[in-house]
Amino acid sequence: DQQVKQNSPSLSVQEGRISILNCDYTNSMFDYFLWYKKYPAEGPTFLISISSIKDKNEDGRFTVFLNKSAKHLSLHIVPSQPGDSAVYFCAASADQGGSEKLVFGKGTKLTVNP
């Protein structure tokens, strides 16, 4: 049972345009969401997060939107740059008394074309 779903395995955009990566979740207990970025042959690195008490969090070119009623979040990258080409993982967590476990989606490979 996949609790965090990234239904688009890949996405291709032109440099300078907006990239929108989507993530859906099924567990209503999830209350904290993160995006990780992964380059080939490297470990994932944290990008941005959002708590369920917010509907938007912005950090430079990256903005995450959360729609709790739809159990949907999205990552917007504006403007997209070739260096943004990577696999992006959505992750979610529920308050489990400190066990800090994350559930990851399968990832979306973003390609930004010059």
Partner 1 sequence: NAGVTQTPKFRVLKTGQSMTLLCAQDMNHEYMYWYRQDPGMGLRLIHYSVGEGTTAKGEVPDGYNVSRLKKQNFLLGLESAAPSQTSVYFCASSYAGGRTYEQYFGPGTRLTVT
Max CA distance (Å), the chain: 46
Q: Which is nearer to partner 1, 11 or 79 (CB)?
A: 11
Residues linked to residue 63 through DSSP beta bridges, in sequence order: 58, 76
Q: Name which position in 21, 23, 35, 44 contacts partner 1 (CB under 8 A).
A: 44
| Residue 85: CB minimum distance to partner 1, A | 18
Q: Using CA atoms, how far apart are residues 99 and 89, in angstroms rounded to an integer? A: 20
Q: Name which position in 7, 10, 26, 45 contacts partner 1 (CB under 8 A).
A: 45
* DSSP string covering 101-113: --EE---EEEEEE
For partner 1, the binding residues (CB under 8 A) are 4, 6, 9, 32, 34, 36, 41-46, 49, 89, 91, 93, 95, 98-102, 104-107
